[in-house]
Amino acid sequence: MKALLIIATLLLASMAIFCQSSTSLVARGKQQINAHQYKTAVATLQQAVRIDPNNVEAYHLLGEAYSKLNMFSEAAQAYEKSAQILTSGPAQNTAPAKTTARTSTTPHRAAPTPTTAAARNGGGGSGAVALGNYQCWSWSQPRPFLNFTILNGSQYTGSDGKTGNYVYEGGSGRITFTSGFLKDAMPPGFRSVYHLPEGRPKVSFYGPSNSEASYCENK
């Protein structure tokens, strides 16, 4: 019995060290991104995801650091991994509930309300996608890596500053990014829907299970 208690104590201690290490590395990675130390941040966040492969925040930050280095293929892969974790449910997420460091220059505001079931099933769109900047979120946390700007009825600018194309189906609300950064930002099987909850333009990204992985609102 005494041996079992010792083993249990050691296991609990190991778990505490595991969580603390992953969390501290994510916090350090944020600081490095804020200080424009992007290469160092990549190394730090790679270590974080090795320790905790389910840390969605670490993958998001890793994608952001890659994008700052113009490594857009690696950035898309990092976000794809975080999207896969997001759609597996909150139980898989080891990221802190709140973040204290921000890398986006966009003024902070409260997170938008998650999408209703009616919009999730399609529809709710309008004749055209509203122009302007869209801020993106996951689990009430800002995701500047996904931010985009709708330029006109067929073009947008991604977070990499490059122009891409999209196709909007007004009847179903489906919006498909056919080129540019957002084309490969989500893994296969994902879809995006434009709708107007409470009159506010919004694009939601859904996984194969029909769960909302991320959503972007026109500010």
Q: Tens of pLDDT along 116-148?
A: 443 444 444 568 999 999 999 876 777 777 899
Q: Would you say 216 and 203 are in contact if contact means Cβ atoms under 8 Å apart?
A: yes
Q: Are strands 175-177 and 141-142 parallel, antiparallel or unpaired?
A: unpaired
Q: What is the rounded CA–CA span in Å between residue 97 and residue 86?
A: 14
Percentage, residues of the chain above pLDDT 70: 71
Confidence of residue 152 (pLDDT cuts 50, 70, 90): very high
Q: In this predicted model, which residue has the larger pLDDT, 118 or 185?
A: 185
Write the CA distances from 20 to 27, 35, 120, 186, integer angstroms.
10, 22, 36, 29
- 3-class SS of residue 59: helix
Predicted pLDDT of residue 55 = 84
Please report the pLDDT score of residue 113 as a whole number. Answer: 46
Q: Find out whether 197 and 214 touch, Cβ atoms under 8 Å.
A: no
pLDDT band at 87 (very low <50, low <70, confident <90, very high): low
Q: Which of 83-87, 113-117, 200-204 has the highest mean pLDDT?
A: 200-204
Highest mean pLDDT among 10-14, 51-55, 110-114: 51-55
Taking all residues of the chain, what is their mean pLDDT, rounded to a whole number? Answer: 75
Spatial separation of the C-alpha atoms in residues 41 and 119, rounded to whole Å: 37
Residue 52 in 3-state DSSP? coil
Point out which residues pair with 149 in neighbouring strands.
Answer: 133, 157
Domains in the chain and their CATH numbers? 2-92 (1.25.40.10), 117-218 (2.40.128)
Report pLDDT digits (tens) over 40-57.
999 999 999 999 988 878
When pLDDT is cut at 50, 70 and 90, the band that residue 15 belongs to is very low
* pLDDT at residue 14 in the model: 46
